[in-house]
Chains A and B, each alone.
Chain A
Amino acid sequence: MEAIVEEHIDPNDLKKFEALYNTQVIRGHVSEKTQFDYAWCLVRSRYTSDIHRGIALIEDLLRHAKDDLSQRDYLFYIAVGFVRIKEYEKALKYTDAICKIEHNNRQARQLERYIKARMKKDGLIGIAIVGGAALALGGIVGATIAALKKKSNQ
């Protein structure tokens, strides 16, 4: 699942689908497919702002989705978007929603496991950072005390 979630879009592809989308916006009607193509590219961008925009475009498609199959596809890529911007709790809501449509959808289950593993990993890293900061702070406090002691001894 990592290969899917962490994959980056080729900037040329993003440009191509963006141009198509913009042309349709100017014409006054964007087809569902063009909006999805562009949004799928945005979700795989390196930039957080693109990912947010991609999620918003797919959420819009989801509101108008005609059948379960499209709903499920949209839910999946919204979840992928949220994982990429590390909003894991939100991502899990979307994988849950897929499983309500297609109980035991393998890809949704895999994504869910991946999200939980990432949460665990990021949680541990968080603790490590706090731990490191505590050590550093301890060092500073220690050094200050030592300096004060030195001063009082003078």
Chain B
Amino acid sequence: MAAGPYNYSYIFKYIIIGDMGVGKSCLLHQFTEKKFMADCPHTIGVEFGTRIIEVASQKIKLQIWDTAGQERFRAVTRSYYRGAAGALMVYDITRRSTYNHLSSWLTDARNLTNPNTVIFLIGNKCDLDAQRDVTYEEAKQFAEENGLMFLECSAKTGENVEDAFLDTAKKIYQNIQDGSLDLNAAESGVQHKPATPRSPINTDQPQNKEGCAC
């Protein structure tokens, strides 16, 4: 885009968390590549993905850190929570244990992010309705009690995947607009990028070193 140095106005940092095998990487892949990744091995440590989206005519770059669900990586992946504007917390609707562990994931998310971080609960694998182990109503109630946004998705069919990522961004954007999210806070998880070129005379620039007498 010839309009400026960046083709987006904001960067939002997201993290994806949840038990091993709930489909975190598949959700990310479906969102960034619009494809289902069958036969996906367990993530080693962390993975990273980006996509530029549009909210209220503003281009926003999502920088998404997808963390491994394996216990081995738990301590170190906690460092990625810091400065996340959005946290997608995923469970598998066909495995009750992954739902039961949500309170522990939520505790981590609350303790390690800032109070404005938007936490979105995703019940993945909703295409496997016949094997359902957690009802929609139950999870919906859990989300309401804990002030979380919620959707059931399918990384396989793509159902609701866009919505989960986009609704999170909309909520973050809304928080910026109404002033509840301070862009200058060190760990807001949001960076504002000027979308228009800077004026040639820029007082923000550090002093030119060539003019220094040393």
| Chain A contact residues, CB within 8 Å of chain B | 1, 3-4, 9-10, 13, 17, 33, 36-37, 40-41, 69-70, 72-73, 76-77, 102, 105-107
Question: Once the chains bind, are A4 and B48 in contact (CB under 8 Å)?
Answer: yes
Q: Do residues B40 and A106 form an inter-chain contact, with CB atoms below 8 A?
A: yes
Instruction: Report chain A residues within 8 Å CB of B72.
Output: 33, 36, 70, 73
Contact A17 B44 (CB under 8 A): no
CB distance from B29 to the nearest CB of A (A): 9
Answer whether residue B185 sits at the interface, using C-beta atoms and an 8 A cutoff.
no
Give the residue of B44, B63, B76, B82 whose beta carbon is less than 8 angstroms from that of A107.
Answer: B44
Which are the 9 A-B pairs with shortest beta-carbon distances? A3-B48, A76-B44, A37-B75, A13-B79, A40-B76, A102-B41, A73-B44, A105-B41, A107-B44
CA distance A106 to B47 in the complex (A): 10
| Interface of A, helix, strand, loop or mixed by DSSP | helix
Docked complex Cα distance between A100 and B48 (Å): 24
Quick one: given A10-B79, A70-B72, are A40 and B45 in contact (CB under 8 Å)? yes
Inter-chain contact B43/A107, CB cutoff 8 Å: yes
What residue in chain B is nearest A103 (Cβ atoms)?
B41
Q: Which of B168-203 contact A (CB under 8 A)?
A: none
Task: Say whether B51 faces chain A, with CB atoms less than 8 Å apart.
Answer: no
Contact in complex: B75, A17 (CB < 8 Å): yes
| B96 contacts chain A at the CB level, 8 A cutoff | no
A77 touches B45 (CB 8 A): yes
Pair B45/A73 contact, Cβ less than 8 Å: yes
Closest to B49 in A: A3
Residue among B37, B40, B73, B82 with the most chain A CB within 10 A?
B73
